[in-house]
Each structure stands twice: as C-alpha cells, then as structure tokens.
C-alpha cells in the first residue's frame, strides 16, 4: 500500500521536499506537529500587526503609533497567548521578543509610506493548478500601482541573505506571482522582499519565461512526490536546516542529537 499523495500544497511544502524528502513526509503526509519557535511567533506577530494596520486604518492614519498599537493587539489575540504559553518563555525573553517585534514594525516605516499604498489584498489567499498540483499560497500584500500594475510585497523578519544566496527567498514569491497570473490573469510587474530588520527592500521582475520555468519545475517536483509516495521512499538529506527541523528526534540521520554515521 502506498502513502496518500497530498491534494494541495503550499510553496513552502514544495520547498521542503526539495530540501529534505523525509522532512516533507513528516510534515505534509504524516502531518506531525512542528515545534513552535520564538522566531516564528515573532514573524507571525509582525505580519499580523502590518495586516491590521492596512485593514483597520485609512490612508493618512497609518502611522508608526497605529502600527505599534496593532502589534499590541496582535499580542493579545488568543492564538498568540496560546503560542506563548506553549513556548514557556521566561518573562525577560517575552519582553525581548516584544521589543524586537516593535523594532521590526518600526523598520517597515523606513522602507515605504503606507499612506501611499493602494493595496487590493492583504494576507491574500490564492489557489490554482500548477504543474498538476493544486497550489495554495497566502500573499502578504498585493498592491495596484497608479499605472494599474500588480506588485507583490513579502515581509521578511530574518536577515538579508548573503550575496548569491537570495534565490531561496525569491522562490516563494515567484510562486505567488505564478498564482496571480493563473487566478487574476495578470503577471505582477515587481516582487518585493522587504527585510524589516536592516531595513532594505530587494526587488525582482518576474518574466513569462521565469514563471513558465517555475511551472515546469513544479510539475517535476510533483512527479517526484508521487513516486516517493508510491514507493514510500522519503530519504533524509542532512544539511544546515537540520538545526531548525522539528523532526530530528525521529530522523535516522540523527541519533540522540548527534549526526549518525
């Protein structure tokens, strides 16, 4: 009997399969819970604060103070309280997390004036068939420029990758561009990664060729996933990412926290 192939996928799950097939199996097929981390919670809170800033405040009222207030609201939401409780952080760590989140939100205002943003979607969910797989993604923000063009913005709370290593971060937003093209019938003119910590924005222009290539690669990855499910063959692929992997205690490549072999 072969394993069930997932029916829908997020771009991040596709990326996980490329990095380590076994981690993909644990996450997407066995659906094992992944340990929360303070970094992930901080990222969620910053995204939530910026989402609330755009939904709850008209242009002219999207101030740093309003964003800071929305971050406070995000901290009080039940999901945040539950996540904080699960992390069991000491009080000082919670204070540090909150201060860092405030700095990240403040960093956003160095990158653009939100009063000038004409957004058509925030935390916008899109879904389409891509290369035989039902792909589902959530776009941080989709804007309409004054000339009627679409622009995707993705907020990043981590550090800017070293030169030559940006590709991984752009892979996800290229998927969002592909989803826009499939669902809205138009290719965004810019994909922007906003690194709130530095702060700096890196931008690329997706092309018809780059999106067609992504569609072909997705088809190939999907075929590989189907083969792996049919043969139940998901191999570990140890890398630096093992340090962040929630499944290390289940992984044959690691024994008692030490790399096997």
Q: How many residues bind ligand SF4 (CB under 6 A)?
A: 14
Alpha helices in the chain (DSSP H): 11-19, 21-24, 38-56, 64-76, 78-87, 91-108, 167-184, 208-231
Residue 21, φ and ψ in degrees, nearest 5: -65, -35
The contacts of residue 82 (CB under 8 Å, 6+ apart) are none
| Cβ-contact 210, 174 below 8 angstroms | yes
Binding flag, residue 105, ligand SF4 (CB under 6 A): no
Shortest distance (Å) from residue 11 CB to ligand SF4: 18
Shortest distance (Å) from residue 249 CB to ligand SF4: 9
CA-angle at 110, arms to 159 and 96, nearest 5°: 55
Question: Is-cis flag, bond preceding 199, omega within 30?
Answer: yes
Residues 21-60 interacting with ligand SF4 (rule: CB under 6 A): 22-23
| Rounded Cα–Cα distance for residues 149 and 23 (Å) | 38
Shortest distance (Å) from residue 121 CB to ligand SF4: 33
What does the radius of gyration of the chain's CA atoms come to, in whole angstroms?
Answer: 20
Residues 206-245 interacting with ligand SF4 (rule: CB under 6 A): 236-238, 241-242, 245
- Using the minimum distance from each CB to ligand SF4, give the nearer residue, 184 or 253: 253
Binding flag, residue 254, ligand SF4 (CB under 6 A): yes
Q: Which of 3, 15, 160, 253 binds ligand SF4 (CB under 6 A)?
A: 253
Q: Which of 9, 14, 20, 211 binds ligand SF4 (CB under 6 A)?
A: 20
Residues that bind ligand SF4 (CB under 6 A): 20, 22-23, 236-238, 241-242, 245, 247-248, 251, 253-254
């Amino acid at each position: 009997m072969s394993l069930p192939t997932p029916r829908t996928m997020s771009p991040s799950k596709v990326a996980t399969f490329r990095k380590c097939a076994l981690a993909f199996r644990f996450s997407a097929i066995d659906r094992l819970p992944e340990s929360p981390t303070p970094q992930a919670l901080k990222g969620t809170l910053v995204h939530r604060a910026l989402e609330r800033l755009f939904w709850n405040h008209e242009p002219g009222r999207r101030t740093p103070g309003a964003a800071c207030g929305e971050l406070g609201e995000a901290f009080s939401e039940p999901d945040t309280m539950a996540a904080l409780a699960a992390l069991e952080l000491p009080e000082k760590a919670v204070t540090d997390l909150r201060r860092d989140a405030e700095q990240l939100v403040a960093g956003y205002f160095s990158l653009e004036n939100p009063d000038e943003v004409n957004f058509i979607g925030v935390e916008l969910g899109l879904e389409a068939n891509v290369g035989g797989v039902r792909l589902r993604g959530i776009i941080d923000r989709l804007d309409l420029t004054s000339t009627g063009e679409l622009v995707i913005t993705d907020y990043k709370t981590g550090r800017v990758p070293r030169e030559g290593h940006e590709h991984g971060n752009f892979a996800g937003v290229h998927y969002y561009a592909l989803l826009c093209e499939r669902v809205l019938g138009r290719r965004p003119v810019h994909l922007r990664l906003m690194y709130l910590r530095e702060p700096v924005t890196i931008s690329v222009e997706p092309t018809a060729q780059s999106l067609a290539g992504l569609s072909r690669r997705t088809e190939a990855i999907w075929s590989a996933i189907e083969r792996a499910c049919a043969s139940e063959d998901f191999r570990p692929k140890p890398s630096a990412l093992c340090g962040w992997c929630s499944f290390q205690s289940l992984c044959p490549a690691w024994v008692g926290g030490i790399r096997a072999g």
